[in-house]
């Protein structure tokens, strides 16, 4: 049975679109992966809350935790309270801490479930920050709160540090303190300015080569305290250079510091790897990706195939998702969360298409129509007729 929908083009002319995708790949329940894979998870807003949506943060906790339970059931870890959860774009620190608390507690119901939580400085008022010491104190506050819960840390890049740092030495000082204080190995986080313009020049230089040298030096000095680093520069060559420079010792098990790809343009080939490198762990990237929220079943199925040595099956499943991801993360990249939430709504994992801070308005109708088509072509629509009905409701709201 063909699934049809009338969709407008850029000139607002309606034409028939026939869905061509087949049923999504079936993840293998209980499958063991040979990559560590975190999905940075979105939050489900509460549109029924009587708040000012641009100013206040109202979360549907039941739906938000249910989505994390879905990710754990697929074998994926959860990277909590990160950029995908609108950290710094609607999700404040008090709500982030409650989210982390609820997520860590919920993970205990899933044996072996991975959850790592974003630790930053976002409670600071950027207009009032004057010194590196204030940044250190801010990291200490969030570290203590998360570690008290038994949570694993992802040390998020700090807008405040970018604002007050004068040189690479200031970054070295801050991260030396953080890593010396951490109770267990952490994941570092390098978010490029395409995701957040306020992070331009992170690690003390706008030159990526110089910035890479700085962060690799920090990691080398504290290898036993660094599980890995997530790099989100949307440039596979820059990630590979950093990957090759990671210590072959240290990390969680002493066998090396991991690269967690945050490259939502090139993740399939980076996760597959190329077999080159001084240590086995440096031949590929593991994953900490926002797109894994939107493509979770395909990611799980592909990773299981990779672990079984079926590299062609891995690429056959994951490859078609890359055009969708590149569209979701297209410039202005910081608005990608809208596409992630839109996918959850299309597939029935939440009852509405609204977001914290009103961010559902950050992408155009035409962007969402193209996203719908690419999701179909990537075999990611779990119930095509259901997705069509949701698209029809969106079109009606927008005058079609």
In a domain, 379, yes or no: no
- Quick one: pLDDT band at residue 281, thresholds 50, 70, 90? low
Q: What is the mean pLDDT of residues 122-138?
A: 97
In a domain, 334, yes or no: no
Judged against a pLDDT cut of 60, whether residue 280 lies above it is answered with no
Judged against a pLDDT cut of 60, whether residue 234 lies above it is answered with yes
**Cβ count within 10 A of residue 286:** 24
Condensed to tens digits (0 to 9), the pLDDT of residues 24-50 reads 888 878 788 999 999 999 999 999 999
Condensed to tens digits (0 to 9), the pLDDT of residues 149-193 reads 999 999 999 999 999 999 999 999 999 999 999 999 999 999 999
The phi and psi torsions of 276 (rounded to 5 degrees) equal -105, 140
Q: How far apart are alpha carbons 191 and 84 in whole angstroms?
A: 12
In a domain, 56, yes or no: yes
- HSE of 334, CA atoms in CB hemisphere, 13 A: 15
**255 in Cβ contact with 281 (< 8 Å):** yes
In a domain, 130, yes or no: yes
Condensed to tens digits (0 to 9), the pLDDT of residues 69-81 reads 999 999 999 999 9
In a domain, 149, yes or no: yes
pLDDT for residue 1: 67
**Highest mean pLDDT: which range of 7-16, 69-78, 243-252:** 69-78
Q: How far apart are alpha carbons 369 and 363 in whole angstroms?
A: 10
**247 in Cβ contact with 223 (< 8 Å):** yes
pLDDT for residue 277: 46
* Number of domains present in the structure of the chain: 1
In a domain, 51, yes or no: yes
pLDDT for residue 279: 45
In a domain, 385, yes or no: no
Give me the domain span that covers residue 80. 35-322
CATH number of the structural domain spanning residue 219: 3.20.20.70
CA 205 to chain centre: 24
Lookup: tokens for 342: 């839109």
pLDDT for residue 278: 43
Lookup: tokens for 399: 């005058």
Q: How far apart are alpha carbons 193 and 9 in whole angstroms?
A: 32
Condensed to tens digits (0 to 9), the pLDDT of residues 352-382 reads 999 999 999 999 999 999 999 999 999 999 9
pLDDT for residue 23: 85
Judged against a pLDDT cut of 90, whether residue 87 lies above it is answered with yes
In a domain, 220, yes or no: yes
């Amino acid at each position: 049975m063909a699934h049809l929908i009338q969709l407008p083009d850029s000139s607002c002319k309606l034409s028939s679109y026939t869905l061509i995708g087949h049923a999504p790949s079936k993840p293998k329940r209980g499958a063991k992966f040979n990559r560590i894979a975190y999905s940075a998870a979105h939050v489900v807003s509460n549109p029924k809350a009587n708040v000012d949506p641009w100013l206040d943060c109202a979360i549907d906790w039941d739906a938000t935790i249910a989505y994390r339970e879905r990710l754990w059931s697929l074998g994926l870890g959860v990277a909590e309270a990160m950029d995908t959860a609108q950290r710094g774009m609607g999700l404040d620190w008090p709500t982030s801490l409650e989210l982390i608390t609820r997520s860590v507690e919920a993970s205990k119901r899933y044996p072996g479930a991975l959850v790592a939580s974003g630790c930053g400085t976002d409670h600071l008022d950027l207009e009032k920050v004057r010194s590196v010491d204030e940044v250190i104190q801010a990291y200490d506050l969030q570290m203590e709160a998360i570690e008290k819960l038994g949570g694993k840390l992802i040390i998020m890049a700090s807008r405040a540090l970018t604002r007050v740092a004068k040189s690479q030495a200031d970054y070295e000082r801050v991260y030396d303190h953080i890593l010396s204080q951490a109770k267990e190995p952490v994941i570092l986080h390098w978010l490029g300015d395409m995701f957040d313009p306020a992070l331009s020049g992170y690690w003390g230089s706008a030159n990526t080569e110089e910035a890479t040298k700085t962060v690799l030096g920090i990691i080398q000095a504290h290898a036993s305290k660094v599980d890995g680093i997530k790099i989100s520069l949307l440039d596979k060559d820059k990630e590979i250079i950093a990957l090759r420079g990671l210590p072959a010792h240290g990390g969680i098990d002493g066998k090396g510091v991991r690269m967690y790809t945050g490259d939502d343009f090139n993740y399939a080939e980076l996760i597959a790897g190329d077999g080159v490198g001084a240590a086995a762990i440096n031949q590929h990237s593991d994953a900490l990706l926002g797109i894994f929220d939107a493509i979770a079943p395909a990611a799980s199925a592909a990773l299981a195939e990779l672990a079984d040595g079926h590299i062609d099956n891995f690429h056959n499943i994951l490859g078609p998702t890359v055009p969708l991801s590149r569209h979701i993360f297209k410039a202005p990249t910081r608005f990608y969360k809208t596409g992630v939430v839109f996918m959850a709504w299309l597939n029935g994992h939440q009852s509405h298409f609204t977001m914290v801070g009103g961010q559902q308005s950050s992408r155009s109708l035409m962007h969402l129509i193209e996203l719908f088509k690419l999701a179909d072509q990537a075999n990611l629509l779990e119930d095509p007729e259901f997705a069509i009905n949701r698209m029809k409701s969106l079109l009606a709201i927008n005058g079609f």
